């Protein structure tokens, strides 16, 4: 899956999707987190060289253990490769790429930043051994509401539940799991796994997107809130980019990003998905009149809905958001210039200086990396932000362009930006 950035965010390259049905994982996050906690509490064993026969014997034993465990617990075997690897798999494929896997926080009890999003062999081996040894025929409680099976409901358990069990919710056969989160100065990125017992639509119009209706409520230190409401309807859609790994499973990266919203001003966030939906290939075509153009047909596609709600709480305490500024504060004789260049965790942008009377929306500052290549556009807001994922931005060159020159010379025509620039400057950042 590789998206091509276009002016229409819904224009995606359609790929074939696998449709092999697997069982829905039944293992709660708490059980997996218990395993992780045991691993963290273990003292590391001293390394020693084993005889070749012993090493091969141990490998065979582990392989046999995995095979037995997978047969007894096929749902868990299906879930293990997904939880904790979503960022790593998708971070370079979405239309807002970023190094999320190396700058994320594991949800469900793990609060330390990780080097990557994968489980180690010892983690997987220890989990399998513990689960196999402790496996019984005990009947698990049925899930009768939006909580995980076996969750205590007394008031004294609320705090513990919020720490270890608030990142997985099940409603009407659809289980939503949040496994990792990464933050930028104005954005939240969530690794999300959605599992549907009844299966997703196989031939949806957009095979790599799961659309949603949602509400985001941010809490300030004084208890006041700021709310954002997102609704997918008709041609106005909000979607999670990702992939359907099989007919019952979707994994993706949810992005909350609002210009002018600084996460450092808030202490927590309530995220509620009211429903998810897939657009179908069927629908009704209507004719609309576009001013100065004429009549244009458009299709309002049918949708398959999966109704919630699924509710989650994110705590911002202790998060660290990296931001570097390179101050320029320079102009040319005409009064055009750059105030500063700002690099955050996942994006970079320049703040223009304009002559008196000029409007900001008439100008765009683009940025090129240390290799002399234009960075990819990421978001449009007060300033044009660009992605630095996988790029060398230890030194960047900024070109201030008139908006019409930028629109005529972006993408494949970016090489023309230097000669169209009305102001140019170069700045350096620490890697």
Q: And the tokens for 10?
A: 């819904």
CA distance 430 to 365: 21
From 254, 177, 261, select the one nearest 219 (Cα to Cα).
Answer: 261
Angle in degrees, CA 326, 328, 332, rounded to 5: 155
- Are 250 and 239 in contact, with CB atoms under 8 Å apart? no
H or E segment and range at residue 41: helix 29-41
Do 172 and 293 have their domain in common? Answer: yes
Q: Which of 315, 349, 381 is the last residue of a domain?
A: 315
Do 301 and 340 have their domain in common? Answer: no
Do 207 and 265 have their domain in common? Answer: yes
Q: Is 84 contained in some domain?
A: no
Do 338 and 414 have their domain in common? Answer: yes
The pLDDT of residue 82 is: 58
Domain tally for the chain? 2
Do 282 and 383 have their domain in common? Answer: no
Q: Is 103 contained in some domain?
A: no
Domain that residue 376 falls in: 323-428
CA distance 47 to 370: 42
H-state helical runs in 42-73: 52-72
Do 239 and 366 have their domain in common? Answer: no
Q: Is 253 contained in some domain?
A: yes
Do 328 and 260 have their domain in common? Answer: no
Q: And the tokens for 245?
A: 């790994």
Q: Is 58 contained in some domain?
A: no
Q: Which of 263, 292, 315 is the last residue of a domain?
A: 315
CA distance 285 to 157: 52
Q: Is 302 contained in some domain?
A: yes
The pLDDT of residue 114 is: 39
From 262, 99, 282, 80, select the one nearest 179 (Cα to Cα).
Answer: 80
DSSP 119: P
From first CA to last CA, the distance across the chain in angstroms is: 29
The pLDDT of residue 83 is: 63
Contacts of 154 (CB under 8 A, 6+ apart): none
Q: Is 381 contained in some domain?
A: yes
Identify the residue whose tokens are 């990266």: 253
Do 359 and 286 have their domain in common? Answer: no
Do 270 and 331 have their domain in common? Answer: no
Answer whether 0.85 is exceeded by the pTM.
no
Do 340 and 386 have their domain in common? Answer: yes
Q: Which of 299, 315, 331 is the last residue of a domain?
A: 315
Residue 225 belongs to a domain with what CATH number?
2.60.40
For the chain, residues with pLDDT lower than 50 are 2-33, 35-80, 110-165
Q: Is 420 contained in some domain?
A: yes
CA distance 110 to 155: 23
Exposure of 237 in the CB half-sphere (CA atoms within 13 A): 22
Do 300 and 229 have their domain in common? Answer: yes
Q: Is 217 contained in some domain?
A: yes
CA distance 166 to 177: 9
Exposure of 80 in the CB half-sphere (CA atoms within 13 A): 22
The pLDDT of residue 166 is: 78
Do 275 and 194 have their domain in common? Answer: yes
């Amino acid at each position: 899956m590789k998206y091509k950035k276009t002016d229409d965010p819904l224009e995606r390259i359609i790929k074939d999707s696998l449709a092999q049905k697997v069982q829905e994982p039944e293992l709660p996050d708490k059980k997996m987190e218990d395993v992780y906690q045991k691993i963290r509490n273990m003292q590391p064993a001293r390394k020693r060289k084993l005889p070749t026969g012993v090493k091969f014997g141990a490998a065979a034993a582990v392989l046999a253990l995995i095979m037995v465990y997978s047969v007894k617990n096929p749902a868990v075997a299906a879930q293990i490769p997904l939880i904790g690897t979503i960022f790593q798999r998708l971070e370079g494929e979405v239309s807002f790429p970023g190094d999320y896997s190396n700058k994320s926080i594991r949800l469900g009890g793990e609060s330390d930043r990780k080097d990557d999003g994968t489980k180690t062999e010892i983690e997987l081996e220890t989990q399998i051994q513990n689960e196999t040894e402790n496996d019984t025929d005990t009947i698990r409680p049925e899930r009768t509401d939006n909580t995980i099976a076996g969750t205590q409901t007394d008031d004294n358990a609320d705090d513990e539940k919020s720490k270890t069990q608030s990142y997985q919710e099940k409603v009407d056969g659809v289980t939503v799991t949040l496994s990792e989160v990464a933050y930028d100065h104005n954005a939240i990125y969530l690794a999300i796994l959605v599992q549907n017992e009844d299966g997703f639509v196989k031939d949806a119009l957009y095979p790599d997107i799961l659309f949603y209706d949602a509400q985001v409520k941010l809490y300030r230190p004084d208890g006041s809130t700021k709310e954002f409401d997102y609704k997918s309807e008709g041609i106005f859609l909000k979607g999670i980019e990702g992939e359907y790994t099989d007919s019952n499973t979707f994994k993706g990266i949810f992005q909350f990003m609002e210009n002018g919203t600084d996460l450092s001003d808030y202490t927590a966030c309530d995220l509620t998905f009211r429903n998810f939906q897939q657009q179908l290939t069927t629908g009704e075509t209507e004719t609309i009149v576009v001013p100065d153009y004429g009549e244009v047909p458009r299709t309002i596609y049918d949708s398959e809905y999966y109704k919630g709600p699924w509710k989650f709480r994110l705590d911002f305490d202790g998060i660290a958001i990296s931001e570097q500024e390179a101050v320029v504060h320079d102009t040319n004789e005409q009064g055009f210039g750059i105030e500063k260049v700002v690099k955050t965790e996942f994006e970079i942008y320049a703040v223009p200086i304009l002559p008196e009377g000029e409007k900001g929306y008439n100008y765009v500052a683009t940025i090129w990396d240390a290799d002399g290549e234009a960075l990819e556009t990421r978001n449009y807001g007060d300033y044009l932000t660009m992605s630095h994922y996988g790029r060398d931005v230890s030194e960047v060159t900024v070109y201030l362009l008139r908006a019409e020159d930028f629109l005529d010379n972006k993408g494949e025509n970016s090489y023309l930006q230097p000669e169209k620039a009305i102001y140019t400057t170069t700045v350096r950042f620490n890697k």
